[in-house]
Amino acid sequence: MARKFWQWKWKYSGWKNSAFVRFLLFFVLGVFFYVTLAGNIIIETYDLEAGAVSDRTIRATKEIPDEAATVKAQEQAVRQVEDVYTTLNPDSLELADTILAKLEQINGDTQFSTSEKVDIYKGFFEQMHVETLDKLLDKAGTNERLSAEVEKRLNEQKYRIPEEIYFKFPRLSLSAIQEMRGVARDIVSRLTTDKMRDTSTARGKVPELVNASSLSSANARELVQEIIRFSVLPNQFYDEAATLKAREDARNAVDPIFIRVGDIIVKENERITDEAYDKLAQMGLLKDRVSYWPELGLILLVSLFVFVIYLFTRRSRLPIKQNNAQLLMLALIFVINLLLMKIVSLGQGLDYPYIGYLAPVALGSMLIAILLDDALAFLSSVLFSIMASLIFNTQPGQLLFDYQFGFVALTVCIASVFAIQKASQRSTILRAGLLVSVFSALSLASIILLSGQSEYVMSSIIFALLSGLVTAVLVIGLLPFFEVSFGILSSLKLVELSSPNHPLLRKLLTETPGTYHHSVMVGNLSEAAAEAIGANGLLCRVGSFYHDVGKTKRPSYFIENQGNRENPHDHMEPALSASIIHAHARDGVELLKEYKLPKQLQDIAEQHHGTTLLKFFYHKAVKLAELEGADAAEVKESDYRYPGPKAQTKEAAVVGIADCVEAAVRSLRNPTIEQIDIMVDKIIKDRLEDDQFNECDLTIKELHTVGRSLKESLLGIFHSRIEYPELPKPNKEGG
């Protein structure tokens, strides 16, 4: 039972109006969105174990800190830091002066015996060592480790004067001491100028320097050497605290090392180390740690995309609200646009990270604007920009939406819709493509200036400029495919069909000039009327051009083509005349099919008369029956009605009204405003009462609007002319 119901439902409504097909189209569109965007959002995971050999090369999918590499770099930086030595000047020159001054004082005092002087000198040199150490410790301050190092180094490098030297000091004369003073100061000053950690080298140079001095006494040269060696002290000491601080500063100065997107973590046929395994775990690339939240998030995202499209089409007044063929075309445009974006995005893995600006994102918006509707094109532009920011994301680990691509995509899509509105020539598409290039480059330039981007600037600008040309070429190439496959009459196609050079219009002009002129007049009337009610005025105009092409088969049987010739209907049976007149609608459809013109034009040619009655021939038949004594009731009205069908669209209905109005008003000799008003109102009223508008969605209010527009247009055509008075003849005699 249920199966029979669905078979009946399908047969009744057809796939173009089937709710099930509509649901299926939305579902398939959502699945396509999911599959297309999944690779940019959902990360592929691997079933791996530490220590196993990888069967593929795995690259990083997001940027994470590389702790092991960072620690290694920090250790390297620490190793490169040399030990820090602090300079503390022990003032060796002052120490030498103090020693010589003490020798001069003690040796000049006669109260001390030689043995006493020896004891004094032993204690004095020990005291000088302690005092020098104390001074250096004061300079070290609170740095305990430095103080300990100073004390250690000074004690280790303390010069111990030989015992016998103490017995020689008392023998020095005051003049010898004075002579030793200058030599000692000069040599100490020279030896302590440089940084010195170890005094052994400097002390080793003392004998050579003393021997080269001006001292002549051997005893003085020997004793001054000992004083100089004692006075030469280290002035640089290892500073452990400063060294540790320098190493810590070096460690902290190392910037964290990151694993960049695309870096190889594991190479094919390479063993997976614990370190590499931890990195894979951090990135969520292991199957045992996989999360299904991204899949759920993507499902919600594409569901929102589809839901937005559904809401718009549901509330739209366009045929796409119920016509699944148009919905299929919209879905196909989305598929083509996204596939082209995905193909271009493959170049991002070939060292062209900004090739996304080359993508013809505006292609979908332009096709939707031309083939469907501007408002739907604007909505689609927003969706395309969001998808572009996902597909061309150069930092998938850090960003979900890279809206520098999305911003450019939104700009060019909206600009293309404005540029392509009411396009009447194919060249308009090329101009729109150039505008896309300009807006793409300008929007990209704003991003570059705001962000301070310095890499790939020229290549990005070149890609942006080329995108508009690529878009225009693709639109021009794809437009005929959609027009033919879905029977879409775009404005561009209609303008092409309206050309007088079209073979069928040339046939109409040459064989039936009266009908051609009538068709042109009907086109002007119907276009204005259709635009007044929001219908497709261009379709009405072009449809009017072709609505009477069937008259080319028997042109002389139609009054506008007879001229001054005799009317053949005057000698024909009314039924035969009616059949000839009826046939022009059917003949027109056959001619339109023969010349492969779109179905919309065929429908207008077939429906513009609907099932109206040929009143003239019907009444003629009734009168003949009465004259012949036959029963007039036997004359069937149905035999004198057009076979129809009635107008199915507003455009067909408007063309039918304009056709009848133009013929009726043209039959008037000098139509006045009142006559035109009465004639238009009567024709519309007769058709309304004859139920000719029952099968189209033309409202009473719209009929009044159509009537008002027709009256205004007819007044412009049949306007009153001023009769100029005859000028008086010039007086030949008076000049």
Assess whether pLDDT exceeds 80 at residue 590: yes
pLDDT band, residue 447 (cuts 50/70/90): confident
pLDDT band, residue 423 (cuts 50/70/90): low
Q: What is the pLDDT at residue 395?
A: 65
Helix (H, G, I), strand (E, B) or coil at 577: helix
Chain centre to alpha carbon of residue 254:
36
Share of the chain above pLDDT 70, in %: 89
| Contact assessment for residue 129 and residue 174, using Cβ atoms and an 8 Å cutoff | no
DSSP 126-176: HHHHHHHHHHHHHHHTT-HHHHHHHHHHHHHT-----HHHHHHGGG--HHH
Q: What is the pLDDT at residue 380?
A: 94
The answer, yes or no, to whether the previous bond of 645 is cis (omega within 30 of 0) is: yes
Element housing 323 (H / E) = none
Assess whether pLDDT exceeds 60 at residue 213: yes
pLDDT band, residue 377 (cuts 50/70/90): very high
Q: How far apart are CA 136 and CA 154, in angstroms?
A: 9
Domains (range + CATH), the chain: 85-238 (no CATH), 291-492 (1.10.1760), 498-717 (1.10.3210)
Q: How far apart are CA 365 and CA 472, in angstroms?
A: 12
Assess whether pLDDT exceeds 60 at residue 269: yes
Q: What is the pLDDT at residue 521?
A: 92
Q: How far apart are CA 303 and CA 602, in angstroms?
A: 40
What does the pLDDT average to over 265-280? 77
Q: How far apart are CA 515 and CA 426, in angstroms?
A: 30
Long-range contacts (CB closer than 8 Å, 24 or more residues apart) made by 172-179: 172/103, 172/107, 172/219, 172/220, 172/223, 173/107, 174/104, 174/107, 174/108, 176/217, 176/219, 176/220, 177/100, 177/103, 177/104, 177/107, 178/104, 179/214, 179/215, 179/217, 179/220
Helix spans in 316-400 (H)? 324-345, 362-371, 374-391
Assess whether pLDDT exceeds 50 at residue 723: no
Assess whether pLDDT exceeds 60 at residue 398: no
pLDDT band, residue 345 (cuts 50/70/90): confident
What does the pLDDT average to over 300-308? 94
Global confidence as pTM: 0.64
Assess whether pLDDT exceeds 90 at residue 414: yes
Token pair for 566: 């005799």
Assess whether pLDDT exceeds 80 at residue 273: no
| Contact assessment for residue 660 and residue 671, using Cβ atoms and an 8 Å cutoff | no
Assess whether pLDDT exceeds 70 at residue 11: no
Q: What is the pLDDT at residue 721?
A: 43
* The three-state (H, E, C) secondary structure of 269-285, written as one string: CCECCHHHHHHHHHCCC
Question: Residue 241: which of 83, 79, 81, 77 has the closest Cα?
Answer: 83
Residue 286 CB contacts under 8 Å (≥ 6 apart), including other chains: 45, 46, 47, 48, 277, 280
Assess whether pLDDT exceeds 90 at residue 30: yes
Q: What is the pLDDT at residue 702?
A: 93
pLDDT band, residue 532 (cuts 50/70/90): very high
Assess whether pLDDT exceeds 60 at residue 8: no
What does the pLDDT average to over 303-332? 89
Quote the mean pLDDT of the chain: 84
| Contact assessment for residue 643 and residue 588, using Cβ atoms and an 8 Å cutoff | no
DSSP category for residue 425: S
pLDDT in tens, 172-185: 888 888 888 888 89
Question: Residue 599: which of 551, 654, 543, 554 has the closest Cα?
Answer: 543
Q: What is the pLDDT at residue 310?
A: 93
pLDDT in tens, 105-133: 888 888 888 888 888 988 988 898 898 88
Q: Which residue has the tokens 């148009």?
A: 326
Q: What is the pLDDT at residue 5?
A: 44
Q: What is the pLDDT at residue 41?
A: 72
Q: What is the pLDDT at residue 349?
A: 59
Least confident residue range of 215-224, 283-292, 462-471, 628-637? 283-292
Helix (H, G, I), strand (E, B) or coil at 519: helix
- In the chain, what is the straight-line distance between the N-terminal and C-terminal CA atoms, in Å? 104
pLDDT band, residue 636 (cuts 50/70/90): confident
Q: What is the pLDDT at residue 31?
A: 94
Least confident residue range of 211-225, 258-272, 529-543? 258-272
Q: How far apart are CA 543 and CA 455, in angstroms?
A: 56
